[in-house]
Amino acid sequence: MEGALRSAARFLLRSPDGRRGECVAMNPRLTFHRLNWKWSLPGLVLIALLATFFNPPDPDVTSGEFEYVQRVVDGDTLVLGTGERVRLIGVNTPETKHSQKPVEAFGKEASAFTKRMVEGKLVRLEFDELSSRRSDGKDKYSRTLAYVFLQDGTHLNAEIIRQGYGFAVSSSPPLKYQNEFRRLEGEAREQRRGLWANAVKGE
C-alpha cells in the first residue's frame, strides 16, 4: 500500500510555482521549510481511490441500503454480518435444522441453493407492512421477516419458489407478493421442478 501511494504521489505533486507537466520526485530528506508541496485535485482523487482499493470495506458492516450475508442457516433463514437473523417471508423450504423434526426431503438441496444465491453477498431487505403490524416484523424465534433482493434485482423469496426449492405460504389478508408466489408455485408444480419432481399430478 505504502509503495503504491508513494509512486502515485511522485507523479501528482507539483512544484511551488505551479508549472504544469513538471513532476517532482518525493524526497524524505526535504523539510517543509525547504519545499512547500501543492496537491492537485486529480491527485487527491486518485490517492483516495488507491486507498479504497487496498483497504476494502469490512463485510460485517452494512453497505448503504445493502446488508452482507454472513451465512445461510437453511433454505429460508439467513444470518447477516451484523448478527441479525432473517427469515424469508411468504416462503417455506423443507426443514434441515429443526430441533424436533428430521431432515425433510429436498431440504439439503434447498439450503444449498440459497447458499449459492446469497452467502457472502450483499442483499437488500424489504419488509411487509402486514407482518410488521402483526408481530413487529419478527417471528416467534425473533427472526426478522423480510423479502430479500440481490444487487441485480433478483427476488430470492420468489426465485426459491420458482425453482421448486420451496412453496408459497398463504396469509389472510394476503402478504404483498402472495399472489405472485402462488403463481410461481403453480408453474413449478406444472413443470415438475425441484421438490415437485415426484409429485403426483393434481396434488
Catalytic residue check, 203? no
CB 95 within 8 A of CB 107: yes
| Catalytic, out of 67, 87, 109, 185 | 87
Catalytic residue check, 29? no
| Catalytic, out of 67, 95, 109, 159 | 95
The Cα–Cα gap between 91 and 98 comes to: 16
Cite the DSSP H helix spans in 32-88: 41-54
Q: Which three three-digit cell numbers place residue 189?
A: 408444480
Element holding 14 (H helix, E strand):
strand 13-14
Q: Which bin fits 57, alpha (ψ -120 to 50), beta or left (φ > 0)? A: beta
| Catalytic, out of 67, 109, 143, 189 | 143
Return the SS3 of 11: helix
Catalytic residue check, 95? yes
Q: Which three three-digit cell numbers place residue 22?
A: 513538471
Question: For residue 96, which of 76, 118, 67 has the smallest C-alpha distance?
Answer: 76
| Residues known to be catalytic | 87, 95, 143
